């Protein structure tokens, strides 16, 4: 059955611990500072003195982001070697490491900066939904690691992107 696998992020559950990011980095043996998933903090507001005392409008929230496995991925179209593909059965965008020439055209084409160049391997790499774990009926490392269950995986039959 074909369709699209997606990450579902529940912002109301995320506490910004970045365990998902660490699990991704560890699972993919990435260099320090490199990750296929990243947690961003958004904070602001402040305190102000009023006639009734001190009041605040302080806020903070987090967003966990990874490759969106787009419907029509720019990275797939940009790769001259045909190394970046979108699987028909589940919509996962993968980079064939045997075919990748390291030209970085897919890196430049991705509007979300999800495709990264690995200096050690001299190749492009990205989130692959932990395809090896999915094949064994498992969950991506980031989903399994989240203590607040802010990340889940959903599958939409018949949809690609």
The pTM of the full predicted model, rounded to 2 decimals, is: 0.87
Structure tokens of 84? Answer: 């970046």
Computed over every residue of the chain, the mean pLDDT equals 94
As a whole number of angstroms, the distance between CA 122 and CA 8 comes to 31
Torsion sign across C-alpha atoms 21, 27, 33, 34:
negative
Which tokens hold the place of 2? Answer: 């074909």
Residue 54 token pair: 């001190």
* CATH class of domain segment(s) 3-157: alpha beta
Q: Give the confidence band of 32 by pLDDT, cuts at 50, 70, 90.
A: confident
Eight-class DSSP state of 68: -
pLDDT, average across residues 146-154? 97
Domain ranges of the chain: 3-157
Distance CA 158, CA 161 (A): 10
Mean per-residue pLDDT for 84-106?
97
Other Cβ atoms less than 10 A from the Cβ of 149: the count is 10
Cα distances (angstroms) measured from residue 116 to each of 25, 88, 119, 143 = 13, 23, 9, 21
* pLDDT (tens digit per residue) in 103-125: 999 999 999 999 999 999 999 99
- φ, ψ (nearest 5 deg) of residue 114: -85, -25
The pLDDT of residue 61 is: 96
CA–CA separation, 142 vs 158, rounded Å? Answer: 25
Q: Tell which residue, 89, 93, 88, 122, has the closest CA to residue 109.
A: 93
Q: Does pLDDT of 161 surpass 70? A: no
Nearest to 76 by CA among 7, 19, 148, 160: 160
pLDDT at position 159 is 64
């Amino acid at each position: 059955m074909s369709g699209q696998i997606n990450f579902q992020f529940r912002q109301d559950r995320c506490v910004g611990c970045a365990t998902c990011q660490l699990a991704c980095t560890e699972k993919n043996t990435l260099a320090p500072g490199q990750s296929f998933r990243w947690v961003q903090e958004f904070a602001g507001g402040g305190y102000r003195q009023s006639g009734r005392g001190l009041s605040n409008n302080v806020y903070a929230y987090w967003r966990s982001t990874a490759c969106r496995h787009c419907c029509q991925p720019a990275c797939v179209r940009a790769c001259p070697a045909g190394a970046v593909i979108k699987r028909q059965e589940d919509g996962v965008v993968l980079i064939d490491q045997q075919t990748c020439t390291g030209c970085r055209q897919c890196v430049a084409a991705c509007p979300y900066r999800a495709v990264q160049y690995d200096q050690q391997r001299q190749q492009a790499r990205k989130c692959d939904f932990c395809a090896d774990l999915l094949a064994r009926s498992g969950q991506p490392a980031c989903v399994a690691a989240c203590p607040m269950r802010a990340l889940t995986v959903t599958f939409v039959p018949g949809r690609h992107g």
